[in-house]
Structure 1
Amino acid sequence: MKRPIIVLGIGELGSVFSRAFLKNNYPVYPITRQTNIDELANIINPELILVCTAEADLQNALQSIPKQWKDRVAMMQNELLPRDWQTYNFINVTVISVWFEKKKGMDSKVLISSPTYGKKAQILLDSLALIDIPVHMLNSKEGLLFELVLKNIYILTTNITGLAIEKGATVNDLRNQHLDLMRHVSNDILALQAQLTGQTFDAKKLEQGMIKAFQGDLEHKCMGRFASVRLKRTLELAKAFNLSVPTLKKIESKHF
């Protein structure tokens, strides 16, 4: 009998992971806002705990994880970087950069294969394969960091540029009709990612990765429902680092 998997946050993506784990014969225990997590920790010894909350709820979720579970934590949020979990003394965390989406009333839609790294990565790969979601293993923390930055560049560039161009524009429109603006936005975002990680990254390689993701769904809309929130959060981070992000400021002034 396999040990259970805890899924913290049962939203759209949490439901996808839960289905995958169940298909892989893992019992699944959901944690919602009503769950007493410390009480649960006293009676369950899980294989892993997957944090599936929204980005805005991540820090509260990570703070709530009991000490006895800190060696089996996995995360899958957008805008995720090591600084988000490094203060919690987790041991050998597992992270997956999710390149599939799940919206209410529709099945999950894959853009490209999702990279994963960490102690429990094989479980994520094997389980998601059972519901036809491709995942591949990374072999280093450096590889994971690049993939997280790539996903951040993709999400933030498409969303924020979407605020400045025609309503309903797709990523195909973005690369074909607004390439200069796209590059200016992504350069600002990359400068911030460098500050947040203390690392430098190959801008050309990141752009190639972003274009590859575009090709996974050329009709994907640029401006998601959290675009304004993402712009505001990005500008607040840039301000905290006293970082100049001229294109993002220009988009803010026109949008608000």
Structure 2
Amino acid sequence: MKKPIIVLGIGELGSVFARAFLKNNHPVYPITRTTDIDELRTFIDPEFILICTGEADLQSALKSIPNEWKDRVAMMQNELLPRDWTAHNLTNPTIISVWFEKKKGTDSKVLISSPTYGKKAQILVDALALIDIPAHILTSPDELLFELVLKNLYILTTNIAGISIEPNATVDTLHNQHLTLMRNVSNDILTLQTQLAKQTFDAQKLEQGMIKAFQGDLTHQCMGRSAPARLKRTLELAKSFNLSLPTLEDIAGQTL
């Protein structure tokens, strides 16, 4: 029997990872809001702990990790950057940029292969392969940072642009009928990502990566339920850095 894996947050994506780990012969222990982590750590020596909470709950989840497990943490959130974990004394966390979605009552839908990096990356890749979800291993922290920014650009651009265009608009509609809006929104997002990551990025390469992801599911709707919250959170972050994001501010002025 392989070592157990702890999954913190058993929502839709958490359940997908749990099933993959079980198929790969890892016992899985869930952590929910009622779980006593201090009790759990007294009798479990996990392979790692995968945090599957939403973005808004990530910081509190990281604070709850016992010191004994801080050398084996994995994360999979959207809007993730190194600044989100560096304050928590984690030792080389494993990160996966998830490019599949799971909605209630449906099976997983893959857009493109999910890149992952860190000590436990191979376990993630092998387990997901058993449930037909492709993933691959990155070779450097720089590659990881680019992939995280790419995912952030995709999520934030599609969600926020979707607020201001026709209901139920797809990424194909956004790209082919609202290209100027798409680029204006993504430029604002990239301005903030550059500030947060303290590094510049190749905007053309990022746009090409985003369009490749569009092609993975051309019918993917732009505006999810969390789009207004993402817009609000993005503008609050920008304000904390005294950044002007004119297109996002205009969208917020019209809709929030």
TM-score range, shorter chain: over 0.9
Q: Tell me the residue number matched to 2:237.
A: 237
Alignment of 1:32-111 (within 5 A): 32-111=32-111
Secondary structure, in 3 states, of the residue corresponding to 1:62?
helix
Rounded Cα–Cα distance in structure 2 between residues aligned with 1:136 and 1:15: 20
Q: Tell me the residue number matched to 1:190.
A: 190
Rounded Cα–Cα distance in structure 1 between residues aligned with 2:38 and 2:145: 31
Q: Compute the displacement of 1:103 (Å).
A: 0.2
Secondary structure, in 3 states, of the residue corresponding to 1:225?
coil
**Cα distance per residue 1:134-181 (max 9 Å; x no partner):** 001100000000000000000000000000101110000000000001
Rounded Cα–Cα distance in structure 1 between residues aligned with 2:60 and 2:253: 32
* One-letter code aligned to 2:88: Y
Rounded Cα–Cα distance in structure 1 between residues aligned with 2:7 and 2:211: 32
Secondary structure, in 3 states, of the residue corresponding to 1:142?
helix
Q: Tell me the residue number matched to 1:140.
A: 140
Q: Compute the displacement of 1:5 (Å).
A: 0.2
Secondary structure, in 3 states, of the residue corresponding to 2:193?
helix
Secondary structure, in 3 states, of the residue corresponding to 1:244?
coil
Q: Tell me the residue number matched to 1:26.
A: 26
Q: Tell me the residue number matched to 1:166.
A: 166
Secondary structure, in 3 states, of the residue corresponding to 1:133?
coil
Rounded Cα–Cα distance in structure 1 between residues aligned with 2:67 and 2:114: 29
Q: Compute the displacement of 1:92 (Å).
A: 1.4
Rounded Cα–Cα distance in structure 2 between residues aligned with 1:14 and 1:192: 29
* One-letter code aligned to 1:2: K
* One-letter code aligned to 1:195: Q
Count of aligned residue pairs for this structure pair: 256
Rounded Cα–Cα distance in structure 2 between residues aligned with 1:150 and 1:106: 26
| Residue range with higher mean Cα deviation, 15-24 or 34-43 | 34-43
In structure 1, runs of 5+ residues without a counterpart are none
Rounded Cα–Cα distance in structure 2 between residues aligned with 1:68 and 1:153: 34
Rounded Cα–Cα distance in structure 2 between residues aligned with 1:61 and 1:146: 24
The alignment's TM-score, normalised by the length of structure 2, stands at: 0.99
Rounded Cα–Cα distance in structure 1 between residues aligned with 2:87 and 2:179: 38
Q: Compute the displacement of 1:38 (Å).
A: 1.1
Q: Compute the displacement of 1:120 (Å).
A: 0.3
Q: Compute the displacement of 1:189 (Å).
A: 0.3
- Is 1:5 matched up with 2:16? no
Rounded Cα–Cα distance in structure 2 between residues aligned with 1:6 and 1:189: 33
Q: Tell me the residue number matched to 1:208.
A: 208
Q: Compute the displacement of 1:39 (Å).
A: 1.1
Rounded Cα–Cα distance in structure 1 between residues aligned with 2:122 and 2:174: 35
Rounded Cα–Cα distance in structure 2 between residues aligned with 1:249 and 1:194: 18
Q: Tell me the residue number matched to 1:253.
A: 253
Rounded Cα–Cα distance in structure 2 between residues aligned with 1:194 and 1:203: 11
Rounded Cα–Cα distance in structure 2 between residues aligned with 1:168 and 1:69: 42
Q: Tell me the residue number matched to 2:15.
A: 15
Secondary structure, in 3 states, of the residue corresponding to 1:116?
strand
**Cα distance per residue 1:47-66 (max 9 Å; x no partner):** 01000001111011000000
Runs of 4+ in 1 over 4 A off after TM superposition: none
Secondary structure, in 3 states, of the residue corresponding to 2:30?
strand
- Is 1:154 matched up with 2:165? no
Secondary structure, in 3 states, of the residue corresponding to 1:98?
coil
Rounded Cα–Cα distance in structure 1 between residues aligned with 2:168 and 2:177: 14
